[in-house]
Chain A
Amino acid sequence: MSQLETFYEVMRRQGITRRSFLKYCSLTAAALGLGPTFAPRIAHAMETKERTPVLWLHGLECTCCSESFIRSAHPLVKDVVLSMISLDYDDTLMASAGHQAEAILEETMQKYKGKYILAVEGNPPLNEDGMFCIVGGKPFLDQLKHAAKDAAAIIAWGSCASWGCVQAARPNPTQAVPIHKVIKDKPIIKVPGCPPIAEVMTGVITYMLTFGKVPELDRQGRPKMFYSQRIHDKCYRRPHFDAGQFVEQWDDEGARKGYCLYKVGCKGPTTYNACSTVRWNEGTSFPIQAGHGCIGCSEDGFWDKGSFYDRLTDINQFGIESNADEIGTTVAGGVGAAIAAHAAVSAIKRAQHKGE
């Protein structure tokens, strides 16, 4: 095993100044909710730890996860993370092509056997022996299994890799499955969302690279630091929900006043994600702020729970917290069990999600 550079050395080599590096450490500490005293610890870890190689594979997908990550993140954070993971293999961005690229993948896997992190965007289809997604002449399923074999851990980027997402929506013509259905012997960190928020992606990967371990996960395998609260819990329109003030249709008077979007189909009360706190496009906004309800895109099977535009009108009474939560729980229906799991103070430490 050859000696790897430290993260800090890699960053300096890529032209990131020490000042930017320290600023990055502060931003990261804040993003991870760790407080300013953690910044020096992050800096120390990065100065002394060997760089962890990351392989980034794409299956059946729309590339929205990569795009969210590379287009929307804070430029400094993104630069640093990109330089850290060095994109040893990522077919959207890498400099090489074709057979040369395939060779780099093999070389990285051999050289860092058991040490690299495998990041997967998209998922494998099982119908027709995997013919619906061919990478380098072979089914993506084969590439995925091959690359997973010697990985230290796997990150499932987005709802495709985590839950199956749109191509797995009924009737799932290609029989696309989330990666935990085919990889059962590795820790899988699920970062769901369609796509996930850029800052959540950088936060998760930075945590793993900096501290060299998997972040604390909930029972479904999602990092608790970003997926432990419902959109509804921290929604800035929440007071209007509690006051029973609702938008009835787009651009009506209630919409102009910023009322709650629950009656036009908002799934914020049953969706665990960081949209209402971290927000999108460098904290600019999120779907609810742009006048449309949440569709619950980070939840398992969100496609198959009825129309996204069904109006919810069966609310009789509001005004107090317990009722609001009751509404949330009722709506949850199929995911009720998941909510119970969240509500409980989890005893699971560093859960390593293993398939079912």
Chain B
Amino acid sequence: MSRIVAGPFNRVEGDLEITLQTASGKVQSAEVNSPLYRGFERILLGHKPMDALVYTPRICGICSVTQSVASARALADVMNLSMPVNGELCTNLVLANENITDLLTHFYLFFMPDFARDTYADKPWFNDIHSRFKATSGSAAAQMLPARADFLHLMGIMAGKWPHTLSLQPGGVAKAIEPKERMRLLAIVAGFKRFLENTLFGDSLATISQLQSEAELWQWCDEKDWQQSDFRRFLQVARVQELSTLGRGTDHFLSFGAYGLQGQTLWASGSYCQGDNKPLAISQIAEDHSHSWMTNTGSPHPPAQGITQPSLDNEAGYSWCKAPRLANQVVEVGPLARQVVDGHPLIRDLVARSGGNVLSRIVARLLEMALVVQQMELWIKQIDPKAPFCHHGEMPGEARGVGLVEAARGSLGHWLEVKNGKISNYQIIAPTSWNFSPRDNQEQPGALEQAVVGAPVAEGEKTPVSVQHIVRSFDPCMACTVH
């Protein structure tokens, strides 16, 4: 048995370190560490509740809008406030804009460049992938970056600036959309859709979103040359490298449900495990501190009663991250979880065949882009410039509220308690807190810690490339994880 400390990881958002125990060319066990702590939950104490709208987006410069939405929803919950339809539409559009640019960035700049490493120089697909995805010089980035910057003009118009927008409010949005702006939004989305269809997928978004099974996916892939689009390139690499055998996690998935409109969500909330689809049980969420550098409270506690008190005295601690659990179970969150829980046939089929793994996570991520961009066009058309965009309410002196949202990387929750008109408790569970959690009081490793077990380690590898594929397949956001 030998020990490797892998890190710092590049091309992930924030700092990350993983300690691996390896034997006979394989990872035997792993401990994941988020080595960055800032103390948002403590900074928020004693502030006026509305100020959370300014503090919490700064948890993360990548998922900043989702933090805004979660905090606006927690505030709306304590104020007992609902949004007008325009407010919901605009919130969905801004949220979708950020989520999609995150999914896109992950694929082009973080995930694919690993296959341009010299380790793979003898592979038949290498030359094409290398010239397309090599970090900082590949041809793909030159096409993707301008498309992304243009797409973010939607954010500019609707939210003023990105990251850390201010327009998202508990009762709706501060920015009303005028008819001429609505036309421009449609043009922006149409332009981005063109990029996705021409460059990423090499086919229409409708075709991609209607793939029904793994068999149909491969059949679609083989209809054209694999160099015809970036999705086909990925599938080709995935097939040759057998990525579906890499990084299998717990196969237990959680989603808070996404993109609400008039009492419905585009994607359902709930949990899913081995064919068993359960409704979302928020009361079963609890956080454990056994292996965190936090004051150990003995037993796990629900976030509404949560405390965040850093302490280096916990000798069993190895991460700043707490260990959130659903009914004491380790769960995985993210695009794959969202689509499994919602029941997309392609994703359900992939998971039924080979579980959550590097292939299924990336396919789900790309599929979501196809699904959401089509939806964005419908949302824009539904905006009524003459109707209200924001409702108003009173902040009660004492109340509790919860704000749940799906970020690009998975389920994000804010738990807020107000006393005497001030924030008396604020607890945040971020997507990567779920995926990259440390062990809990039952010594169950977190989702990533389980997923890297069995990953091959070549002789002399300091940061094994297989582990890098698995880590990035979760698209970790370490800035959010510990806040």
Contact = CB atoms under 8 A, between A and B. Distances in A.
A and B: interacting chains: yes
A93 B175 CA distance: 34
Most buried by A among B8, B146, B171: B8
B281 interface: no
Interface in B445-483: 462-463, 468, 479
A75 B160 CA distance: 19
A162 to B, nearest CB: 14
A292 B146 contact: no
A228 interface: no
Interface residues of A, number: 82
B136 A132 contact: no
B163 A291 contact: no
A173 interface: yes
Contacts of A100: 462-463
Interface in B40-87: 40, 42-43, 47-48, 50-51, 53-55, 58-62, 64
Contacts of A128: 310, 312
B11 A250 contact: no
A28 interface: no
Contacts of B304: none
B174 A250 contact: yes
B153 A307 contact: no
A72 B151 CA distance: 10
Contacts of B389: 250-251
Given A67-B62, A286-B160, A92 B39 contact: no
Contacts of A291: 160, 167, 173-176
A133 B163 contact: no
A71 to B, nearest CB: 6
A309 B15 contact: no
B13 interface: yes
B413 to A, nearest CB: 18
Interface stretch (B30-38, B239-247, B248-256, B364-372): B30-38
A65 interface: yes
Interface string A108-145: 00000000000000000100100111111100000000
A72 B251 CA distance: 37
B101 interface: yes
Interface stretch (A55-63, A202-210, A316-324): A55-63
Contact of A307 (B15, B50, B156): B50
B36 A132 contact: yes
A63 B61 contact: yes
11 contacts: A62-B479, A63-B13, A64-B61, A71-B148, A94-B10, A135-B8, A249-B392, A250-B171, A292-B175, A293-B166, A307-B47
Interface of A: 14-15, 58, 60-68, 70-75, 78-79, 82, 86-87, 91-102, 125, 128, 131-137, 165-167, 169-174, 176, 194-195, 249-251, 255-256, 275, 279-282, 284-293, 295, 297, 303, 307-309
Given A62-B163, A255-B174, 14 more contacts: A64-B61, A101-B10, A132-B37, A134-B36, A165-B58, A167-B40, A174-B39, A195-B163, A275-B161, A280-B160, A284-B153, A290-B167, A291-B173, A292-B167
Q: Which 9 A-B pairs have the closest CB atoms?
A: A64-B61, A290-B160, A284-B156, A173-B39, A281-B156, A95-B135, A98-B463, A134-B35, A291-B174
Interface of B: 5-11, 13-15, 17, 35-40, 42-43, 47-48, 50-51, 53-55, 58-62, 64, 101, 105, 109, 113, 116, 134-137, 142, 145-146, 148-149, 152-153, 155-167, 169, 171-176, 310, 312, 320, 388-390, 392, 462-463, 468, 479
